[in-house]
Chains A and B, each alone.
Chain A
Amino acid sequence: MTRQKYSIFSLLRNAVSRNENWQQAWRSPAPRKKYDALIVGGGGHGLATAYYLAKEHGMRNVAVLEKGWIGGGNTGRNTTIVRSNYLWTEAALLYEKSLKLWEGLSRDLNYNVMFSQRGVYNLGHSLQDMRDIERRVGANRLDGIDAEVVTPEQIKAAIPMINTSPRVRYPILGASLQRRGGVARHDAVAWGFARAADALGVDIIQQCEVTGIYRDHGRVTGVETRRGRIEADRVGVVVAGHASVLAGMAGLRLPLESHPLQAYVSEPLKPVLDTVVMSGAVHGYISQSDKGELVIGAGIDAYNGYGQRGSFHTIEHAMQAIIELFPAFSRVRMLRQWGGIVDVSPDACPIIGKTPVQGLYFNCGWGTGGFKATPGSGWAFAHTIARDEPHDLNAPFSLERFTTGALIDEHGAAAVAH
């Protein structure tokens, strides 16, 4: 089908006709009996996978199976931060691939994902923090990623609301700054990928929970769903917090634990923060959305949980961190709070690759930082599914690394509030 192109002209044309003639952005087809490939999970990563399968590898007989509605899971439950300043080369190159895709994504998808490169500051509060920051910035530059070290004076000049007093419990001694980092509009990412994938022939099937994975002699043959059996020789599973549940259907064990990760949005304020600020030491991160809300995140709840909610003391901890950095925000009221279920891996790095079951691929373990990787994750996963072998970028992120011991130890090293 021909897809209406979004442009200033289509806006004007539809404004004249009272916005009554907009085409639907994607179809809602009934599932067919058989596809060349199935993607389980209609979040950003799954939709991106389907899009790049169709676009880069010519696989168009593909369906995305989504339990609820697309983008209704972690894609719509995160703090939308995008950056690529990871310490280890394997991780840095993967996230940098993603960042490069972000930079052209709105044009590529013909959908405004509102990617805003407003910069990301990772604060240091101790001498050791600053040594780690210097090291990471150096590593980033060697990997061809923009990074710089900034002083408290520079931070104060860029972010007037921040408290750079040396007489606090966690004084700000400096920061790393990635100017190409920023935020994007999370819903638009899901919708943009869905619309673009659908235009290439991908079936997006919502309300279609997968309840079983069929195998025959070590090969995947299809899945059982709430809407019947669907056959396929290749099945890519990218379901974030429920990865272990899906793996169990295929008799596999994964090195993952699912935790609630809470985030918070304040009442809308006038523009007060035009960048992203993260701190590992006080453990919080904050930006301001285009609607004026402060978007705040912090650490996971300690316990395993699938309940999409967490404990109150975790909220309190996140707020303490933000007030420590921005005392002026102490009187801001929070509007909404939610929890996503994040699949945390032992080395805080994702698993993107093949499994012991032929034709079954898993993309999981993104933990607390998957949103930034949405396009790159889909791009690499599509390559893995189409060629039945990982791309060089995701080869180090195999499930076998937990057997060989070749972990990519980003825990605490990536300037992230893990």
Chain B
Amino acid sequence: MLLINCPWCGPRDESEFGYGGEADIARPANPDALTDEEWADYLFMRKNPRGLHREQWVHEHGCRRWFVLERDTVTYEITDAT
């Protein structure tokens, strides 16, 4: 189990958290102007890296706030929380 350092509550067990996938995906400001390819890229395409991954977590059973972790997807080591 991961030990996740919630920026507001401190280190807690992974089972208190929900996972929100890849971080930094911004909803396009004007969806009507997008091509189908651009819309598909926003909706479905993911970096899915082997290595460092910036990802969203929510402290579901705690402060219920979202934050971003940087975690290695091979060693599972958490390198940064903001």
Contacts and interface: CB of A to CB of B under 8 A. Distances in A.
Interface of A: 242, 244-245, 253-258, 302-307, 311-313, 346, 402-405
B40 A305 contact: no
Interface in B14-31: 14-15, 18-19, 21-22
Given A303-B19, A304-B55, A312-B1, A402 B73 contact: no
Nearest to A252: B45
Interface in B30-82: 36-37, 39-41, 43-50, 53, 55, 71, 73-76
Given A303-B19, A304-B53, A402 B40 contact: yes
A253 B76 contact: no
A252 to B, nearest CB: 9
Given A303-B55, A311-B14, A242 B50 contact: yes
B44 A255 contact: yes
Nearest to B37: A403
B9 interface: no
A352 B41 CA distance: 19
Contact of A253 (B14, B46, B53, B71): B46
A245 B14 contact: no
Contact of B75 (A253, A302, A307): A307
B53 to A, nearest CB: 6
Nearest to B14: A311
A303 B71 contact: yes
Given A257-B46, A311-B1, A306 B14 contact: no
Nearest to A242: B50
Contacts, number: 72
B49 to A, nearest CB: 8
Contacts of B21: 257, 304
B2 A311 contact: yes
B28 to A, nearest CB: 15
A304 B73 contact: yes
Query: Nearest 3 pairs between A and B by C-beta?
Result: A255-B44, A244-B48, A302-B19
A402 B44 contact: yes
A323 to B, nearest CB: 18
Nearest to B35: A403
B38 to A, nearest CB: 10
B7 to A, nearest CB: 18
B2 A303 contact: yes
Given A307-B74, A313-B14, A402-B40, A256 B48 contact: yes
A144 to B, nearest CB: 32
A303 B13 CA distance: 14
B41 to A, nearest CB: 7
B45 A254 contact: yes
B2 A256 contact: no
B1 A305 contact: no
B31 to A, nearest CB: 14
A409 to B, nearest CB: 13
17 contacts: A244-B50, A254-B48, A256-B48, A258-B73, A302-B18, A303-B76, A304-B21, A304-B55, A304-B73, A305-B73, A305-B74, A306-B50, A307-B73, A307-B75, A402-B40, A402-B44, A403-B40
B36 A245 contact: no
Nearest to B45: A253
Nearest to A343: B48
A357 to B, nearest CB: 15
Contacts of A242: 50
Contacts of A302: 18-19
Contacts of B73: 258, 303-307
A256 B50 CA distance: 12
B55 A253 contact: no
B50 A245 contact: yes
